[in-house]
Structure 1
Amino acid sequence: MARPTPPLSRRSVLALGGSATLGALLSSCTGGAPPGLTPTGEAETTAGGPRPALAHWYHQYPEEGRHEAATRYAEAYSAADVTVSWRPGDYARTTAEALLTPAGPDVFEYANGPTIDMIRGEQVVDLTDVFGRELSDFPPALVERVTWDGRIYAVPQVVSTQLLVYRRSMLDQAGIAPPQQMEQLLESSRALTRDDVKGLFLGADGGAGRMGGPMLWAGGFDFLDDESVGFDNAGAAESLAVLRTLWTDEVLLLDASDDWTDPTPLTAGRVAMQWTELSAFPRIRERLGDDFGAVPWPSMPGGAPSVPVTAYAASVSALARDIDAAREYVRWLWVDSPDHQLDFATSHGLGIPARISVAADAEALASGPEQDAATYVAEHGRSLTPLLWTDACASAWGEMMTRIVHDGSDPQEELDALVPVVEAELDRVTA
């Protein structure tokens, strides 16, 4: 296994991740190219020896063509025999279990990168030097999300984001501008609700399972503040209470046949505004043409526009059959081959290439709401959840949000009760 680079602090990675300084630093640590690679980026192979065999796992993307694309990339790699495995079902659970055995993947993608338990449990390997000089071309927020104790454990592939999408014609007809502030959203949702049309769709649960983070950010708060609770403030309760107001105002569509990722409520005219993801834009454009726009989730006093960002990222298992070969393959696939990111993100569905320079040149993101979405990500994007926000934290948070939105529980009392739960998890993963 390659010798690790000297550790950088998490704060150093975040502060320097968008600059050429960090890229140069990492390059100098590795002599200009990661171990096992020539200065030109070509993989070194043992003379006369067989090529390494690698198993690469992906979750089952719904978009047509992505499986074929991933297979095509693997077949083009000449330094190893790579087998692509498209995994249906509960990918997160089955992958986490498989990492505990030699029968698991050598390379695998995971939503937002590996969990803190995978990292602390030494189930994934350090990929810091895989980035080389290109580290500054990856968004700092994405790099920070896969960084622990100064080391980077995954390479971001494709960025997805969530936005408030609206029907231009419906807002224009009502004389309403796309909401920028939370009070405007409340007023617009009420004004646009009439007859069989609702003002807003946040999912079948009224946003309880999805909108807690954006509401925190809108008010200037977060799940965590570095390694401590970030919502231990009276203003956070006020932010979450907005979702209950939307529920009781009866401006939310609650009987859609599918959930928030399906744009049908918007395209069928059942709502004027809908929270959905960038991957839905091609379907929206196919049905509505230019009759739609997108804005971030509105802000509240003291807060900022909310643009949640998620990114599947590639990691290497610590039980990989050939760790160096797996690292070299990940570097070739997602760092040295920007055409893969462009193709994977924009030729099969719609996402944003993780590389900043690649996203800037993507034709699919060059105009309209698609361009707006990419701009919002660059200006306001933040990881949907922090690295230290464990499954236990997320589960307790989700149950709390349901009680606040559906049952009218007091937000401050609920948040106060959640603090020790989160603090216990933070103590566990940082001990």
Structure 2
Amino acid sequence: MTRGSDRGRVRGAEVGRRRVLGAAGGVALTAVLAACGSNTGRSGKGSGPALSQWYHQYGEPGAEQAVKRYAAAYDKARVSVQWRPGDYDRQTAAALLTDSGPDVFEVNGPKLEQLKGGQVVDLTAEIESVKDDFNQAVLKPKIWRDKVWAVPQAIDTQLLYYRKSMLKQAGVEPPRTVDALVDAAKELTARLRGDKVKGLFLGNDGGAAVLGGTPLFAAGLSLITEDGKAGFDDPAAARVFAKIRQLYADESLLLGAPTDWSDPAAFVQGLTAMQWSGLWALPQVEKALGDDFGVLPFPKDGAGGPAVPVGAYGAAVSARSEHRDAAKAYVKWLWVDGADKQEDFALSYGFHIPARTSLAKKAKQLQEGSAADAVSYATRYGHAEPLLWTTPSSTAYQDALNRVIKGGANPESELKAVVRKVEAELRRAGK
């Protein structure tokens, strides 16, 4: 994900894992071939076959050196790591169609077209013994036709940060429902000098880019149903959209902040009493504010429940690899059996959650305070973008949410148009 943003979401030190929380898409073969370069990384010292492993470019210091160190420690193959800047999703999508692509690669998916095209290898046997130990929300989009096609590496998630002292000063309780969130943001803005401090920050666009399907899940709905239909053809969707719009209409939202939602600067500088941001921001918030903050999932609405978006890049094996069995064995060694490396990757270079729940529970950095709360929320309330949620569907949905929030467009008519788009996409994609 971005290690840091969207899926994601913002740039700088966070560019990387955060991206998995927001869909990308498309294939540009010529761009990939031009990007292929000679950065082969450091080869492992094993005596077996030579394997090429690709990663997208994480922005966090030490991450590249760590994955090359893991590869060098493997003794059953000679693994060379390529650290690939640029539009990684497009690069890998194109490379999978050639014989010069990677053996092992991380993927924001795999995408349905890659699965239907037979471009990746079934990893069910490799993960089967510990399948139930993986966070099921991030594993689910990597399952197709009851088989697992990628092994989740590390989880990114988003949370509602709130400043305890500011809420206490305004006599406001941490919001547990969307209605309470709207009221709290308005009250905080009024009592904390709304010309200088706002109640809530959802990003400089008012929230359309970052919220995604989270309000739907909070209302008890989904993006795509289990039987493959649009999951928000329901009056509850329009109602929760209208409440998000109310935040904007009340002038309770911070807009035009120096940095966007994925950076906690606005929150730690006191420009907002509450901010939606990523788990990656927690160490920075804690360093600045001590214990004067808490975290919550996105509040429930109506018959729904709390909602927490989660995402994870996965390790996959190319079907064009000449050494598929060796590549599968390496993935199992690293991302299924390698508990020490999984914890190191998640928590030593940025702040993320190990994909295996047993590791998340025992990691000392995640055992107390807001970090422990975040792990609990991600486990209990986590939701990920489903496999059938395509880029055109995501774009139509986000555009509609933006028109509702900033333009006051009618939520019902906007959502009906998105439902039609999504259903057309589902017919086109099939299963």
TM-score by length of 1: 0.86
Summarize the alignment of residues 258-407 of structure 1 with structure 2, pairs less than 5 Å apart.
258-383=259-384, 385-407=385-407
Can you list the C-alpha shifts for 1:218-242, whole angstroms capped at 9, x where unaligned? 1111111120111111111111112
Output the aligned Cα RMSD.
1.4
Opposite residue 343 of structure 2, the aligned amino acid is L
Cα separation, 1, equivalents of 2:235 and 2:212: 15
Can you list the C-alpha shifts for 1:256-308, whole angstroms capped at 9, x where unaligned? 12221100000111000000010111111121122211001111111110111
Q: Given that residues 212 and 240 in structure 1 are in contact (C-alpha distance below 8 angstroms), is that contact kept between their aligned partners in structure 2? A: no
Summarize the alignment of residues 29-428 of structure 1 with structure 2, pairs less than 5 Å apart.
51-111=48-108, 113-193=109-189, 194-226=194-226, 227-383=228-384, 385-428=385-428
Opposite residue 316 of structure 1, the aligned amino acid is V
Unaligned runs of 5+ in 1: 1-48
How far apart are residue 247 of structure 1 and its match? 1.0
SS of alignment partner, residue 215 of structure 1: helix
Q: Given that residues 158 and 279 in structure 2 are in contact (C-alpha distance below 8 angstroms), is that contact kept between their aligned partners in structure 1? A: yes
Opposite residue 318 of structure 1, the aligned amino acid is A
Cα separation, 1, equivalents of 2:369 and 2:59: 24
- Count of equivalent residues: 381
Q: Given that residues 197 and 272 in structure 2 are in contact (C-alpha distance below 8 angstroms), is that contact kept between their aligned partners in structure 1? A: yes
Opposite residue 393 of structure 1, the aligned amino acid is S
TM-score by length of 2: 0.86
Opposite residue 144 of structure 2, the aligned amino acid is W
Q: Given that residues 54 and 321 in structure 1 are in contact (C-alpha distance below 8 angstroms), is that contact kept between their aligned partners in structure 2? A: no
Can you list the C-alpha shifts for 1:305-340, whole angstroms capped at 9, x where unaligned? 011111111111111231111111000001011111
Opposite residue 400 of structure 1, the aligned amino acid is A
Cα separation, 1, equivalents of 2:102 and 2:278: 29
Cα separation, 1, equivalents of 2:270 and 2:56: 32
Opposite residue 251 of structure 1, the aligned amino acid is S
Opposite residue 378 of structure 2, the aligned amino acid is V
Which residue does the alignment assign to 1:45? none
Distance 1:110 1:379, change over 3 A: same
Q: Percent identity among equivalent residues?
A: 48
Unaligned runs of 5+ in 2: 1-45
Cα separation, 1, equivalents of 2:356 and 2:305: 24
How far apart are residue 50 of structure 1 and its match? 5.4
Q: Given that residues 208 and 402 in structure 1 are in contact (C-alpha distance below 8 angstroms), is that contact kept between their aligned partners in structure 2? A: yes
Over 3 Å off, 4+ runs: none
How far apart are residue 212 of structure 1 and its match? 3.5
